[in-house]
Chain A
Amino acid sequence: MAGFALNLAKPETQRSSTSSLIYDPKVRGVFYQVLTVALVALFVWMVTQNTINNLAKANIASGFDFLEGRAGFDIAQSLIPYSSDSTYGRALIVGLLNTLQVAFFGIITASILGFVVGIARLSKNWLIARLAQVYVEIFRNIPPLLVILFWYKGVISVLPQARDSIAMPLSSYLNNRGLFFPKAIWGDGAWMIGVALLVAIIASIVIFRWARKRQAATGQQFRSGWTAIGLIIGLPMLTFLVLGSPVTFDYPIAGRFNLTGGSTIGPEFISLYLALSFYTASFIAEIVRGGILAVPKGQTEAASALGIRPNVTTRLVIIPQAMRIIIPPLTSQFLNLTKNSSLAVAVGFADVVAVGGTMLNQTGQAVEIVALWLVIYLSLSVTTALFMNWFNAKMALVER
């Protein structure tokens, strides 16, 4: 094949007339690429030139030095100590942590809700399947921003004021300033509980491995799931009791105008978190349903031919195979949720985009801040993608 092509090409290059050069795909390819590079370079050069001119005219210094400056604005919800005297750089980190926080809780809730609804859509129970379908069709077809504003302006901001807070279970209160709940204050030796939890998790993993090895070797089963649950719940509980319950609660107390004490989750976080979870869950539900439907029926039939009970079939035959189909689109949903958390700016939750936007208004450093956004979101995407690829590779079919 290659020799044939070479023979054909030789006489043409020898002729070396301009017309054959024009019709040579390789020459054409090089020409088009050079043209593209030239155009892109020209475009970039023009844009850079204009930007430099415009920035000089507006008296805006370029560079990232402004990150050292005093921020001068407050952030209501922050995971690390922050005040308006902190630097812009620290404000941005606060924003990033807030993004990660809402994405983390949103992903967990959306996954659980999505799996439940997705499986419910396949239920043989007509009512349950219809209810799940209604949920999916409603939330899939409404913009997430509308859902966020619905919760924020439609529901939470018209809740009673602080003095008539709605009392919730576990001595929490709900009002238009958010959810107030008791804060746990850990006493001496409380770190031992964490250690106990860690030990329990490690022990469970060891038991899982041992049980699987034993089952492969002897066929004997071991209730490793129940043992793990017992360990993970029991061991920290036991430590807690042995240490003499080293915890006190700081309860929120209703004052005249506000609740004091306890911890607060602001209305911005609640509305963003609820909206993103509900919205993404409807997509995850469809992915889960598609994944389960894509497992061939023969697998179920083969399992029942082997005498495996239906729920064991679901757990050990259907779900593991469905997971392989589910994971790649699930990854992109997780990324979507993380990216959609930038809608926080609409309700004033200080995520990385909202903080960046405030900085942009104060300093005018548009290019630098947009560059920071790009770097932050692209690295979040890459990190999630890498993790999910690793997970996917672990779950992938191992063929002989």
Chain B
Amino acid sequence: MAVTDFSYVRQEMAGPKPAPSSEVGVVHWLRTNLFASVTDTIMTIAGLALLVYTLPGLIQWLFLDASWTGTDRSACATVSQGGVLPDGQSGACWAFVSAKFNQFIFGRYPSELYWRPLLVMVLFIALLIPMLMPKAPYKGWNALALFIVLPVVSFFLLGGGLGLEPVETQLWGGLMVTLILSFFGITVSLPFGILLALGRRSNLPVIKMLCVLFIEVIRGIPLITVLFMASVMLPLFLPDGWTFDKLLRALIGVSLFSSAYMAEVIRGGLQAMPKGQFEGADSLGLSYWQKMRLVILPQAIKLVIPGIVNTFIGLFKDTSLVYIIGMFDLLGIVTLNQSDANWSSPVTPITGYVFAGFVFWIFCFAMSRYSLFMERHLDTGHKR
């Protein structure tokens, strides 16, 4: 009974047939994704109409009709507005952005001292990149350098002292201040938020009550009132003769505000921890702080990384509010420069805001993408 004798039985598998032509290719994709039903077709056409209506005008305004070079307002104004552009043409005034670029980044920091913020920026990036890479070694030392050493070093580098020419914080501005505020806010709010969250979950009624009071009051009021409080009330609270730097007041306000939000995010992580983890740590004889540091917090924080990054993004966006209490962060300096008579034209404000919006967007979008990456990286597969 040799099997090979049956010549009518196929020796090899039949090759797969190509999918029917209606199931592959561009046409199929169009059919399923754009024109699946009558409603779908109508919606696709509406969407296309929206794109056709807006996109060409947007590209025209942003790039084709934009003025890229120039030294004053005439580059961006039409003839009837006292400029060189033909009447009726309207385009972005990128010349304004490039002329004011240094101000947008450094504020009114003296230009011969630009190397100092630049050096801080280089140090910051050099320390931040290994911190963000999960595989880079020496995380502890890196964190120490980034969160403790760098702020001290940059305080002296930016503000002067120790033989460097002093620069008042009033002259700081632009993206530099936005980054300082948000970095400081992030560095302070995370440990503060953890402490507040632990306090809120504490068994000690007095501590619990104080933490709940702080968190709920801060979360119930807008940041603007906190900043007003920091800028108007702090001087009242201090003994006679003490003064606080304006930037420091804003830093305190922003940090207090984001700590309360951070505390709520961390509390979510603490609540999601199974009770067995607490009991297991207790049965090992760990003290309260050992239990939290070694067992609970590493797991709890990992659970809420998206929430933490969302708080960071919120904080980064909220730093723009310091403009209202008279500081010139990126948004503030862009707004301030629009009143420069040398550059006033109908398109100057909107160009400035498009630029500022783009910078804010890049940072926030990068942060949200990084949080997605970390979520995937830290996902141990234990989730349900």
Contacts and interface: CB of A to CB of B under 8 A. Distances in A.
A143 B233 contact: no
A373 interface: yes
A143 B317 contact: yes
B204 A33 contact: yes
A153 B338 contact: yes
Contact of B203 (A29, A53, A142, A373): A29
Nearest to B30: A126
A51 B353 contact: no
A146 B40 contact: no
Given A33-B206, A373-B221, A374-B221, A142 B360 contact: yes
For the side of the interface on B, what is the size category? 35 or more
B221 A378 contact: yes
Contacts of A292: none
Contacts of A394: none
B343 to A, nearest CB: 14
B288 to A, nearest CB: 9
A141 B203 contact: no
Interface string A105-141: 0000000000000000001111110010000011011
Contact of B237 (A37, A47, A146, A147): A47
Given A378-B221, A381-B220, A345 B36 contact: no
Given A32-B207, A366-B236, A157 B349 contact: yes
B356 A146 contact: yes
Contacts of B350: 150, 154-155, 158
B210 A343 contact: no
Contacts of A155: 350
B240 A57 contact: yes
Contacts of A138: 361
Contacts of B220: 374, 377-378, 381-382
Given A145-B320, A153-B338, A353-B222, A124 B238 contact: no
Interface in A356-377: 357, 360, 366-367, 370, 373-374, 377
Contact of A370 (B33, B233, B313, B357): B233
A339 interface: yes
A248 interface: no
Q: Which of A55, A146, A158 has the most CB of B within 10 A?
A: A146
Interface string A43-74: 00001001101110100000000000000000
A143 B34 contact: no
B166 interface: no
Interface string A328-371: 00000000000110110110000001000100100000110010
Q: Which label, helix, strand, loop or mixed, suits the secondary structure of the A interface?
A: helix
Interface stretch (B43-51, B147-155, B190-198): B43-51
B237 A127 contact: no
Q: Which label, helix, strand, loop or mixed, suits the secondary structure of the B interface?
A: helix
Nearest to B366: A141
For the side of the interface on A, what is the size category? 35 or more
Interface string A311-333: 00000000000000000000000
A36 interface: yes
B205 interface: yes
A111 B365 CA distance: 24
Interface stretch (B56-64, B109-117, B223-231, B293-301): B223-231
A125 B335 contact: no
B324 interface: yes
B274 interface: no
A339 B220 CA distance: 8
Contacts of B361: 138, 141-142
A149 interface: yes
B324 A345 contact: yes
A147 B50 CA distance: 21
Contacts of A343: 222, 224, 321, 324
Contact of A141 (B44, B313, B324, B352): B313
Contacts of A377: 220-222, 225
B217 interface: yes
Interface in A47-104: 47, 50-51, 53-55, 57
Contact of A53 (B32, B207, B240, B346): B240
B364 A149 contact: no
Given A144-B317, A154-B349, A378-B217, A357 B239 contact: no
29 contacts: A33-B204, A36-B210, A47-B237, A50-B239, A125-B43, A125-B44, A140-B368, A141-B364, A143-B318, A143-B331, A145-B321, A150-B350, A150-B353, A153-B335, A153-B349, A158-B349, A340-B222, A342-B224, A342-B225, A343-B321, A345-B224, A346-B324, A353-B225, A360-B228, A370-B228, A373-B221, A374-B221, A378-B221, A381-B220
